[in-house]
Amino acid sequence: MAETALYAPVKRFLEAQGFTVKGEIMGADVVALREGEPPLLVIAELKLGLNFELVLQAVERMRSADEVWLAVPATRKGRDRDRRAHQLCRLLGVGLLAVTLSTGHVAVLAESGPYKPRHNAPRRRLILREFTRRKGDPMAGGHARGERMTAYRQQALVLADALKAAPLRPRDLKATVPEAQTMLARNVYGWFERISKGVYALTPAGHDALRAWADHLPGS
């Protein structure tokens, strides 16, 4: 497959919008012009796959065109179907087209032009809550795998540290961890066990956690 296979479908797509289209002008794969005052100049780049280099090329084209479009072959599970890629194109103001080569159909996956993403208020609140509740900066950025030191885990370690010597009631721990009752009952990590009504002790897993996370305990 060659990139030129994308040219005819993209040309028809732009012509249907009132553009006059020509190929390979000043290094651009497709240049389209719609007369007016001022005229509307569009550049489209054709590639066999959506990649970072193509995005950089689009950014460069934005300096000389009113609109920039990227056109790639339509796939079932390729990068052109990745919603994050669509979001990136919208943020940049770059249009994204998926061309079905067998039929010549062109699908608009992202419109060209200014775009402001809709805020995800619940996600923002969660980030702010975690940032505020986390003590210090216990984890270096860049961890892709493994367990993470979250604000919740920090509080769970405080509870585990308090219970390592002897069983206690949630009310005995509330001054240190206000959510002690809920955390002990949920027992997310399996560190706690209720040994009698309203009394909790540390499990072997809890003792192991204290050793594993010793550097993150209060006062360490």
Domain ranges of the chain: 3-110, 147-212
Mean pLDDT is highest, among 134-138, 182-186, 215-219, for 182-186
CATH code of 3-110, in short, is 3.40.1350.10
d(CA 97, CA 6): 10
147-212: CATH topology? Arc Repressor Mutant, subunit A (1.10.10)
Q: Is the pLDDT of residue 167 over 90?
A: yes
Q: Compute the chain's Rg from CA coordinates.
A: 28
End-to-end CA distance of the chain: 61
d(CA 42, CA 164): 69
Q: Is the pLDDT of residue 62 over 60?
A: yes
Considering the entire predicted model, what is its pTM?
0.58
d(CA 16, CA 183): 61
| pLDDT grade for 79, boundaries at 50, 70 and 90 | confident
Q: Is the pLDDT of residue 40 over 60?
A: yes
d(CA 170, CA 191): 15
* Counts for the chain of helices (H) and strands (E), in that order: 8, 8
What stretches of the chain show up as alpha helix (H) in DSSP?
A: 7-15, 52-61, 83-92, 121-133, 151-163, 170-173, 180-186, 204-212
d(CA 197, CA 184): 13
Q: Is the pLDDT of residue 115 over 60?
A: no
CA 9 to chain centre: 32
d(CA 162, CA 201): 10
Q: Are strands 40-46 and 67-73 parallel, antiparallel or unpaired?
A: parallel
